[in-house]
Structure 1
Amino acid sequence: MEHGDISPGITGRTAAEIADSIRALVERGSLAAGEALPSVRTLAEGLGVNRNTAVAAYRQLAHAGLLVSQGRAGTRVADSAPLAQDGYAPDSVLRDVGAGNPDPARIPDLSSALASLAGRPVLYGEPVIDAGLAAFARDWLVPDVASPGDLRLTITNGAFDAVERLLAQALARDDAVALEDPCFLGTIRTARLAGYRPIAVPVDSEGMTPDGLRAALADGARAVVCTPRAQNPTGAGLTAQRASDLRAVLADHPYVLVIEDDHYSLLSTQPYRSIISPSHRRWALVRSVSKFLGPDMSLAVVGTDGETADRLAMRLSPGTTWVSHLLQRLALALLTDGGVRRSIAEAGAHYAARNAAFAALLSERGLDAAIGDGVNVWLRLPRPARDVSERLMRRGWLARAGDEFILDDARRPSHALRLTVHALDDAEAARLADDLAAAIRT
């Protein structure tokens, strides 16, 4: 194999040249969707370049969505089919009970708050986080942080942006990250497109399992993403004992970055229990507002240790990820409005009540639904979920099979459905429960 040329025709001496070569091969169809690429080592040796150059080339294309890292299974050309994402299915005539959306009628009206936002313009070089929001965020986070004296704050464009940038400042391509299994779709997408190696940590009714976390750390995980309550998709929340057990597992790994994604926060009916102990050195608590102020309010406050804050700040420059101060002021106006806070609490109680009522309907029909926290119901099935979801489609329902949330492919097929039912009236909920029972019996 000659330097400068490697099968299947990849060329180049710099990361940009190698990336352009691979991109051209994909565009011409010489590299098909799903096709394996040479390992980083093979590519570097074949082209006579430094391994870091090959890594940078693959990373560029992974960030562009052209390549997907599958950990030890190597790097492949991304499939043209997009990775699964939350939200309504486009162009469907079926009743969508898999979207995972909050109820739009329970998202606060922004009109009065918008009228209060007039003020001086914000210029480059000013603090990234608005002073008023910073003060609110500190009060919001301090009670749930193990080391409040070390707390540093920043702001991001939502939870996805926060998790992506937190992982990027701690991990390199092919580094391992411990993720819940089943896992939130956005977290799966973030890890795979960035080229990290996801390690599945099983989730049960009490959240992430200690044995699973211990195994992931032994396998080299350099970061952990945990949802302490309203775990998506299962609705599980950490019990006090489970949180204590997980802190004990992490005690021997103080420099592993632990990210707690508290996406449901003000809507939750459960207490917040952290797996981060006072002695842990690298940590982050992420709280976004999209579940209760609306998905268009793409904003999250992030509390971290000092070192993580300094690294994260390097990725929050005005030209790339500046978070609009108008958006920050709007969020602050809503979050400090007594009427809005009452409506958020009422929305959380509504989701919990509707989910519990639907779980009771399922129980009457002999079906096992987890009554957790969040906007969804996690229904365990006696048969593969895709079979049941296909039968539901014939009855007019579009559900989301648990397969989309599974990290460990060896565990397929999934035997669970994630259902978003809070918008159904009583008659619709009963009809869905009947159709589910019939689809399972068929």
Structure 2
Amino acid sequence: MRESEQVTPGALAGHIRDTSARGIAVAMTDLIRSGELAPGSALPTVRALAGELAVSPSTVAEAWAVLRRHRMIATLGRRGTVVSGPPSVPHPVRFERVGDFGGRLTLDLAVAAPDPALLPGLTDALLAGARTPRLNDYSRTAITDGLLDAVRATWPFTPEAWTAVGGGYEGVQLLCQALIVPGDRVMVEDPTAARLLDILEALDAQVLPIDCDAEGPRPEALARALDQRPALFLHQSRAQVPCGWTLSERRAKDLAVLLEAAPNVTVVEDDGIGPLTAEPAASIGTHLPRRTALVRSYSKAYGPDLRLGVVGGPAELVERARVLRTFGSGWTSRILQDALAHLLTDPATGRRVEEAARRYRERRTALAERLAGHGVPTHNEDGLMLWVPVADETSALVTLAARGVTVSPGSRFCVSYARPHIRVATSRLSDDPAILDDTAELLALAASAADHLR
């Protein structure tokens, strides 16, 4: 079969011996892997192939869903369904960097990573971790006693169960994987973290965008989405990416009232910045502890090489996440867990984290004030970034790239992209006022760049 060839139902049916959904998917996978179905080949309609195989259209549709999930086929509107190529893993396209500046990059404002100069030292912490009880014991430890003691008092509600994970996003991914099946509807803030959208896309979830304001997700938007019978509400509780708001206690209570009337909806709260936030976040878990799991990351405050997060929530849900991990690593290193426990309880480290939070706040505020002076308003109250409105996203990116500066396109963070933005990382900004002045001036220029530059 040649590329772009229209494959007839009869020709395809001749290669399919097992007409179950699984059998159809297996036969198709073999044809695509071998090259007999080349990329671009147009496939027959579900109904036409079902008629040739004498099976129901739902059987073929189920097989097509498996092939689509593994990126072997794609539906292209009027062109119908075509072959994409051999199976591949889902690609986190939003999170991955776009553009290669060929070494001309002079200022990276795309990655909202911690400043290494503001991170605490790890030597004493790792030595403490190496003294963890049951060192090199092969039994799985969901969370060490030391780490549990260090985090328990900081949790906004009392979970039934806990587990340590390899970072906040791994915790979110495990919970989503444990909770939803392909096609499930998931409510999520709009805009939200690009990684969260990538996770939901990889799981074939249908995203229901929830409008937000300065206090968090808007109750009326959540109420409308609940009418569509979602399975999950995934939101960030503080220093929200990319808008920088923190959930208020009043808003958490209002949302909990609505969610209480929807017993099939589970809540996953993502706290990606932990101790670096200016304010403690309210939690829906305070009101619905048996249906809420909170994932808290410690990487930005204590070091990305620790790769540590903690999940606290309902016992059944945490157990599902633990079971999924048994297919891979099984548990998080006890050495790293107790190293984090040392950092969380060491007074000197606590003071250093407080100082880092202050410095990050000053950098974000300094740039925001300068942008406001150029007529570019931003509203981030916390976090390591600014959500900057622009006249045209593409023009802003081109204007900055031409001057060796990279930022993140705002469209990556949005489900429904109403007004163009760019996301500007502020965590590694220079503290030099002159450099900040120049940076703000350049960003303001990019913000006003019109779409005639395309």
Indicate the TM-score class for this superposition, using the shorter chain for normalisation.
0.7 to 0.9
What secondary structure is seen at the aligned counterpart in 2 of 1:154?
Answer: strand
Shift of 1:421: 2.5
Shift of 1:374: 0.6
Residues 1:139 and 2:153 are matched in the alignment: yes
Q: Which residue matches 2:331? A: 322
Q: Which residue matches 1:108? A: 120
Q: Of 412, 428, 438, which aligns to 1:404?
A: 412
- The aligned runs of 1:30-429 (5 Å cut-off) are 30=37, 32=39, 48=55, 58=65, 62=69, 77=84, 83-85=93-95, 92-94=103-105, 95-119=107-131, 120-141=134-155, 144-145=156-157, 148=158, 151-279=160-288, 281-317=290-326, 319-381=328-390, 383-408=391-416, 411=417, 414-425=419-430, 426-429=433-436
Shift of 1:140: 2.6
Write the deviation string for residues 108-141 of structure 1: whole angstroms up to 9, x where unpaired: 1112222333345333334322221122232232
Q: Is the 8 A contact 1:164 1:190 kept in 2?
A: yes
Q: Which residue matches 1:430? A: 437
User: What is the identity, as a one-letter code, of the residue corresponding to 1:83?
Assistant: V
Instruction: Mark the runs of 5 or more structure 2 residues left unpaired by the alignment.
Output: 1-7, 450-454
Write the deviation string for residues 129-179 of structure 1: whole angstroms up to 9, x where unpaired: 2221122232232xx01xx2x521112111111111111222111111111
Instruction: Mark the runs of 5 or more structure 1 residues left unpaired by the alignment.
Output: none
Aligned residues: 430
User: What is the identity, as a one-letter code, of the residue corresponding to 2:428?
Assistant: A
Q: Is the 8 A contact 2:188 2:210 kept in 1?
A: yes
What secondary structure is seen at the aligned counterpart in 2 of 1:117?
Answer: helix
Q: What is the rounded CA distance, in whole Å, between the counterparts of 2:121 and 2:354 in structure 1?
A: 15
Q: What is the rounded CA distance, in whole Å, between the counterparts of 2:98 and 2:120 in structure 1?
A: 21
Q: Is the 8 A contact 1:158 1:288 kept in 2?
A: yes
User: What is the identity, as a one-letter code, of the residue corresponding to 2:114?
Assistant: P
Write the deviation string for residues 220-275 of structure 1: whole angstroms up to 9, x where unpaired: 21101111111101111122332222122212113311001111120100121112
Q: What is the rounded CA distance, in whole Å, between the counterparts of 2:322 and 2:183 in structure 1?
A: 24
Q: Is the 8 A contact 1:4 1:13 kept in 2?
A: no
Q: 1:339 to 1:242 in 2, by over 3 A?
A: same
Shift of 1:66: 5.9
User: What is the identity, as a one-letter code, of the residue corresponding to 2:407?
Assistant: A
Write the deviation string for residues 361-388 of structure 1: whole angstroms up to 9, x where unpaired: 011111111132110011123x122221
What secondary structure is seen at the aligned counterpart in 2 of 1:177?
Answer: strand
Q: 1:116 to 1:439 in 2, by over 3 A?
A: closer
What secondary structure is seen at the aligned counterpart in 1 of 2:436?
Answer: helix
Q: What is the rounded CA distance, in whole Å, between the counterparts of 2:381 and 2:429 in structure 1?
A: 18
Q: Among the aligned pairs, what percent are the same residue?
A: 25
Shift of 1:292: 0.9
The CA RMSD measured in Å over matched residues stands at 3.8
Q: Is the 8 A contact 2:322 2:330 kept in 1?
A: no
Q: 1:300 to 1:373 in 2, by over 3 A?
A: same
Q: What is the rounded CA distance, in whole Å, between the counterparts of 1:339 and 1:40 in structure 2?
A: 68
Q: What is the rounded CA distance, in whole Å, between the counterparts of 1:248 and 1:297 in structure 2?
A: 37
Q: 1:179 to 1:30 in 2, by over 3 A?
A: farther
Q: Is the 8 A contact 1:287 1:302 kept in 2?
A: yes
User: What is the identity, as a one-letter code, of the residue corresponding to 2:202?
Assistant: L
TM-score between both structures, scaled by the size of structure 1: 0.84
Q: Is the 8 A contact 1:299 1:328 kept in 2?
A: yes
User: What is the identity, as a one-letter code, of the residue corresponding to 2:446?
Assistant: A
Q: Is the 8 A contact 2:109 2:405 kept in 1?
A: yes
Q: Which residue matches 1:28? A: 35
Q: What is the rounded CA distance, in whole Å, between the counterparts of 1:74 and 1:205 in structure 2?
A: 43
User: What is the identity, as a one-letter code, of the residue corresponding to 2:93?
Assistant: L
Shift of 1:198: 1.2
Q: 1:259 to 1:329 in 2, by over 3 A?
A: same
What secondary structure is seen at the aligned counterpart in 2 of 1:244?
Answer: helix
Q: What is the rounded CA distance, in whole Å, between the counterparts of 1:204 and 1:75 in structure 2?
A: 41
Q: What is the rounded CA distance, in whole Å, between the counterparts of 2:44 and 2:248 in structure 1?
A: 44
Q: What is the rounded CA distance, in whole Å, between the counterparts of 2:439 and 2:207 in structure 1?
A: 35
Q: Is the 8 A contact 2:15 2:27 kept in 1?
A: no
User: What is the identity, as a one-letter code, of the residue corresponding to 2:95?
Assistant: Q
Q: 1:436 to 1:313 in 2, by over 3 A?
A: closer
TM-score between both structures, scaled by the size of structure 2: 0.82
Shift of 1:81: 7.5
Shift of 1:79: 11
Q: 1:348 to 1:7 in 2, by over 3 A?
A: farther
Q: What is the rounded CA distance, in whole Å, between the counterparts of 2:411 and 2:394 in structure 1?
A: 8
What secondary structure is seen at the aligned counterpart in 2 of 1:292?
Answer: helix
User: What is the identity, as a one-letter code, of the residue corresponding to 1:18?
Assistant: A
